[in-house]
A and B are shown apart, each in its own frame.
Chain A
């Protein structure tokens, strides 16, 4: 490992110490592999490929990370494969996101629970946005929610996930926070991906869009759509600073689509620690900060046990929302 001369001695000492502990545990993935539980082209695929590429660029793994697309069941096929067949594979990580937690919470992976795998680390979060077309008369989030409250049939909200999926839940969280009593009457139209949903917003087929910042960014830059609210606790940094949060408009709703990894349930502690520290090092690198900035990912820096309990809380929260809105019993 080559240290830049500009690094502080302390940092160098810390890093070499962590390198030493890794060496002491004696674990380096021989054939690092990342399962993307969807076809090439989606968010999970992006997570695997981008992280794999940067891990290698930064010298954190010696070999190219092999990316395997194991699509099916909204990630359920990959989950079952890891639980049933590869539970003690030390070289394997799997891309995950809020969608994974949503499906686990709703029991959409038959017979599988979040305790069957080890949650490694997060690599960032994509906050939800609610947007309308640039020429829409609606100016603020409360205005939109008031329209829904007055007459749910007057507003169609488009999103990229299926009914009960994360894009749908986000708009329901906001509606609930604004006092819409029967959130099941909110008219949600599912499209195949955020891109198609935005296109239909521009075409005028629907009145509002619910999705992630990264999906909306290009259209905001070009002035085609107007973000009513971002579902983050505080305003985001940089170019996203101009988006008002839902909270500051009096709607207490937060929705973040986090991205991260899980590992097989019986991965050895040495391997688990090694992966956690490598992804942690990657997260701290400048190259990753650039990637996050370019793709509209907000910081979410959780590793090891902290991430494990974060996912646990998130699953519990989604389960209770889904029960309230009647998606699961």
Chain B
């Protein structure tokens, strides 16, 4: 305990914010202990809520504010989110994994709970009343016996940081007392976004700013041999910068920078991997791998003996692009020894560290500011453009704006990795699954849980040996629910195959083999919502089912599709989804995420695939890489199970994981075509029908 000049007593707490919720210690260690890092109260009573998370469409600008409003007991309208600024916000690992609500949320709530308790104790002194006789409503603390005795948060703090801490642990609000959480709120950023006022990275302007274009090799693995940039350098106002293999042109006018780029002549040496989008799966299976048994229970041989039907399948999932509509962008300014970078990234603190390391600056000399991000989906976890802009800004001595072209976006993306899944599974005479031998090659294990109640299980993951040559010809990374789409596709199609082989309705087969009550509830809920009737099909129509688990959330889907068996064309007519995500903070926001997941999922299921030859990406544009459009839309029905007494879970990714499988299974139901490879293009449907 020590006394400061202002006469405010500071206690050192024996506990951290993480203790309130039993949160993982790693994050607890890195997030600040001081609740002031998470919020500040302005003179007008506005609560600024600080988070290292970014808003990229997922809606946490609204839902985190709802949580802060309830925990601090202030009106929702008074909460202002300050996001993704490394100078202002508490450290954060990055905005991914649907972690904002389920992991950051509890820390923020704990901070708000402590701030509320501190404010109550300050009010107690000021009003001369015991805390037990005080209540808070809309940021005003008043005497429960006489409401005219009151003081507001703003009066207590007078715009200053609260220099007081507690030595006893405050409790967070009980969910039954939430006024804001659990109710639908419209997006709080909507007005800014419909008027064009919302600022994204590319929208910032600084005096003396120039636009940069960087020379890219024609393919991954190609190295610059010779370069002649005299033509570009002769253009009025063009500055050419070179460092090692990086060649860039700068001009105050973007059109001119584009024109200068075309004038650069470069030759390359090529070192292509002998693989393309058709041979990649064989390439992976032949690669020098190391196997790791991820989970094992029972004994596979015993499972085999118990099985009367054994099914072996191999599933292929290709590389997929993120294709956010905002390309990777960054504006960097190096002034007075400090690097400031506005950037579209999901990882502002990661970029801060990387720039500090690369440019040999102290981390506090690097400020990363993340304005609105125009879509991330995992692809903006990578922040190469921020590093490039920072380097160019320092070389040029003026602010540099770098906005990747669509071509660069499709070339430099960290793609969803291709992968292979092999499953050998068996059922007994009663249709119970007894054997599940799962082999996963090069895709990550997220979503590879068996889910079903199987006594004899083994999951083996094959990845590149440390010393072995690279398998992916280019960078790969997280793509909305990383790898879960691959694993759920394989598992749920295999389940469908087993159900068909056992002659059991696929819904009944699943229910029969599930012990997981959350999943059973989701399946039953979606069946009711969808109006599922066993065996409905005909006229080229069919119904599919699939389930999945991601980010702590359980989902079950049903889809109806129409298959034209002459052309192989698949039309998805409707998709229903039931989701158990624990307490749902903003039902409207969560519903929008479910709709978004379902719509985006249509792409990887039906049309999206990165075509490549060695390190060259062949379909670098929206004319050749086909993302879902208005004409792709099915009717979408969503249902969120009422689980208010449970901790909130992830919402940005779960509803996408089963879309590939639910459509594959519906295609089978409609046409008898069994597909093992995404995307399920008309050609592949015809092939599966034996017409290819």
Q: Do A and B come from one complex?
A: no
Show the binding face of B for A, using Cβ within 8 Å: none
Show the binding face of A for B, using Cβ within 8 Å: none
